Amino acid sequence: MKKILIIPSIDIKDGKTVRVVQGIPELNCKQYNNNPVEMAMIWRAENAKCIHVVDFDASQQSSQKNFGTVKRICESVIIPVEYGGGIRTINDVAILLELGVYRVVIGTMAHNNPVEFKEAVAKFGNRRVIAAIDVLDDEIYIKGRQEKIKRSVLEHARWLEEAGIERLIVTDINRNGTLIGPNIELSKRIAKNTNLKVTLSGGIRHYDDLKNIFYDEEDGIDSVIIGRALYENKFPCQKIWRVAECGIFS
Q: Which residues are catalytic?
A: 11, 134
CB distance 114 to 83 below 8 Å: no
Q: What is the tally of helices (H) and strands (E) in the chain? A: 11, 13
3-class secondary structure per residue, 65-95: CCHHHHHHHHHHCCCCEEEECCCCCHHHHHH
| Total length of the chain | 250
The DSSP bridge pattern shows strands 16-17 and 197-201 to be unpaired
Tell me the three state secondary structure of residue 157.
helix
